[in-house]
């Protein structure tokens, strides 16, 4: 049986194979779906603005992936901090508790791969020279492995002198694509701006959609198990229940 009520901060494929038929994506706009989602989108857009400025100095290209600087280090750190903030928001708003743990870590965040299918997300930059512009930043989680860009973040954060080169352009791009995927897995392409309605759910020939922020593109998972897909009429569900959402089980 498919999922008959949407989960909080969880954007999913429907039983028809799509994400938006009949306005069923509009649950992301409900005030009980997420706490202050616009703040997370705004933080992302500030980061994207700074990343695009960096593109004026480091050309987005395969050959430049090993480049590193204090600027790539700074943006890498900030992006990973924002990823952690989003992961914590999803877990906390779905009632996640780990006994004896005051601080959550990547072991806790990895549980979101089972609920948000992050390892299936593909993200690409709209401007790139070379063949490596499509990234699957959470792919390692699909094989039970660590995330290289996040490992680089931890090492470069705690030992910048010796691990500085790990916070390179590639790690930054992968981390930023991870943030794009994470936002997409929560809110689709809705940006929480006044009078803003999503118009991005078309049918591009290559399967990518314009992501939040308008620069990157995201390909949503298309192969979720039938029992994990959403199956509801949002308009009817919203009218019948004061709180039309449920919490995830981790």
When the pLDDT of each residue in the chain is averaged and rounded to a whole number, the result is 93
**Long-range interactions of 33-37: CB distance < 8 A, separation 24+:** 33/6, 33/8, 33/9, 33/245, 34/8, 34/9, 34/89, 34/93, 34/186, 34/187, 35/89, 35/93, 37/9, 37/186, 37/187, 37/192
The pLDDT value recorded for residue 207 is: 86
Tens of pLDDT along 160-174?
999 999 999 999 999
With a cut of 70, say whether residue 150 has pLDDT above it.
Answer: yes
Point out the least confidently predicted range of 46-55, 102-111, 113-122.
102-111
Q: Say what the pTM is.
A: 0.89
Domain extent listing, the chain: 36-205
At residue 10, the pLDDT reads 98
Decide: helix, strand or coil at residue 83: helix
């Amino acid at each position: 049986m498919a999922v008959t009520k949407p989960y909080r901060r969880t954007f999913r494929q429907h039983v028809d194979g799509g994400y938006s038929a009949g306005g069923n994506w509009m649950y992301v706009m409900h005030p009980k779906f997420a706490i202050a989602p616009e703040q997370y989108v705004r933080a992302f857009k500030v980061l994207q603005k700074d990343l695009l400025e960096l593109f004026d100095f480091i050309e987005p290209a395969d050959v430049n992936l090993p480049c590193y600087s204090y600027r790539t280090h700074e943006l890498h750190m900030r992006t990973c901090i924002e990823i952690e903030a989003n992961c914590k928001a999803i877990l906390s708003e779905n009632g996640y508790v780990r006994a004896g743990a005051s601080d959550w870590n990547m072991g806790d965040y990895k549980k979101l791969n089972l609920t948000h299918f992050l390892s299936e997300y593909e993200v690409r930059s709209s401007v790139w020279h070379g063949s490596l512009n499509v990234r699957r930043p959470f792919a390692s989680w699909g094989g039970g492995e660590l995330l290289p860009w996040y490992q680089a973040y931890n090492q470069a954060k705690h030992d910048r002198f010796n691990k500085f080169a790990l916070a390179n352009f590639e790690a930054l791009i992968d981390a930023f694509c991870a943030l794009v995927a994470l936002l997409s897995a929560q809110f689709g392409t809705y940006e929480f701006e006044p009078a803003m309605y999503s118009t991005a759910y078309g049918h591009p020939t290559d399967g990518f959609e314009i992501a939040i922020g308008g620069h990157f593109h995201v390909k949503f998972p298309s192969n979720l198990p039938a029992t994990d897909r959403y199956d509801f009429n949002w308009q009817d569900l919203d009218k019948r229940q004061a709180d039309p959402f449920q919490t995830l089980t981790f």
